[in-house]
């Protein structure tokens, strides 16, 4: 397998964690989202993934895109250890938590949105940071409430086992810290994040140990 990734991409980060959890060996192929106008916009990369997003996972002759779809593929082809609980209701609840992050928080604050705010819309850096902090606060406030409802012992977002939702949480918290967002109002999420980031798969996936990492 080959993973087209960028060290700071939240979506790539999720997939790296999943690959580490599942013990899947892969080749990391960095795609620089910033350098030389963004390698994700080159013809070569767009032929691989027409959206021009990372991650993309080459699995044999197929190329998979969209991080949650990639993780679901890994879950179906390598079911141990599981990232989804056995019951249909519980699986839906875990997916809802993951989608809360992947579809409602992350898209408002990803690189292309921030670049559009700074570029065509001409917003100053202070306004862009205010945008980021606002939508992080809106998203994490609701997620904190859901975590209090679903987490058993404050170690995982759902129940007391690792799930797809946790793979989405850690990269989002990483970026919130990077943008100096106030996370004090979310003690449950902070506790879960501390527990998860100490685990080996999360350590292996963190941006600082990726081959394309730049401080």
Please state, as a whole number, how many other Cβ atoms lie within 10 Å of the Cβ of residue 90: 15
Q: What is the pLDDT of residue 10?
A: 97
Q: Is residue 176 predicted with pLDDT exceeding 90?
A: yes
Q: What's the distance, Cα to Cα, between the start and end of the chain in Å?
A: 27
Task: Locate 28 and state its tokens.
Answer: 């990391």
Rounded-to-integer distance, Cα 15 and Cα 168, Å: 9
pLDDT of residue 36: 66
Instruction: Specify the DSSP class assigned to residue 130.
Output: H
In the three-class reduction of DSSP (H, G, I as helix; E, B as strand; rest coil), residue 167 is classed as helix
Please give the model's pTM, rounded to 2 decimal places. Answer: 0.96
User: All domains of the chain, ordered by start, with CATH?
Assistant: 2-80 (3.40.30.10), 88-201 (1.20.1050.10)
Closest CA to 147 of 76, 197, 93, 104: 93
pLDDT tens, residue by residue, 25-76 = 999 999 999 866 788 989 999 999 999 999 999 999 999 999 999 999 999 9
Question: What is the rounded average pLDDT for all residues in the chain?
Answer: 96
> Hey, what are 79's tokens?
């079911």
Overall average pLDDT of the 83-94 stretch:
98
- Helix, strand and coil percent figures for the chain, each rounded to 5: 60, 10, 35
Given the structure tokens 């989405």, which residue do they identify? 168
Average pLDDT over residues 175-195: 97
> Is the distance from CB of 180 to CB of 186 less than 8 angstroms?
no
pLDDT surpasses 90 at 168: yes
């Amino acid at each position: 397998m080959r993973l087209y990734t960028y060290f700071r991409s939240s979506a790539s980060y999720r997939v790296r964690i999943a690959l580490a959890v599942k013990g899947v060996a892969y080749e990391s192929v960095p795609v620089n989202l910033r350098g030389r106008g963004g390698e994700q916009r080159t013809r070569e990369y767009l032929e691989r993934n027409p959206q021009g997003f990372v991650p993309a996972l080459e699995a044999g002759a197929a190329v998979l895109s969209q991080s949650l779809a990639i993780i679901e593929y890994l879950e179906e082809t390598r079911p141990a250890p599981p990232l989804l609980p056995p019951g249909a209701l519980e699986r839906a609840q875990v997916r809802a938590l993951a989608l809360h992050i992947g579809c409602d928080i992350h898209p408002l604050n990803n690189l292309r949105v921030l670049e559009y705010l700074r570029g065509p819309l001409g917003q100053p850096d202070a306004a862009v940071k205010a945008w980021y902090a606002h939508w992080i606060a809106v998203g994490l406030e609701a997620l904190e409430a859901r975590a209090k409802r679903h987490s058993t012992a404050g170690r995982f977002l759902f129940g007391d086992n690792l799930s797809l939702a946790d793979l989405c949480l850690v990269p989002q918290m990483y970026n919130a810290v990077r943008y100096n967002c106030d996370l004090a109002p979310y003690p449950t999420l902070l506790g879960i994040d501390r527990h998860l980031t100490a685990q080996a798969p999360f350590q292996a996936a963190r941006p600082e140990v990726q081959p394309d990492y730049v401080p």
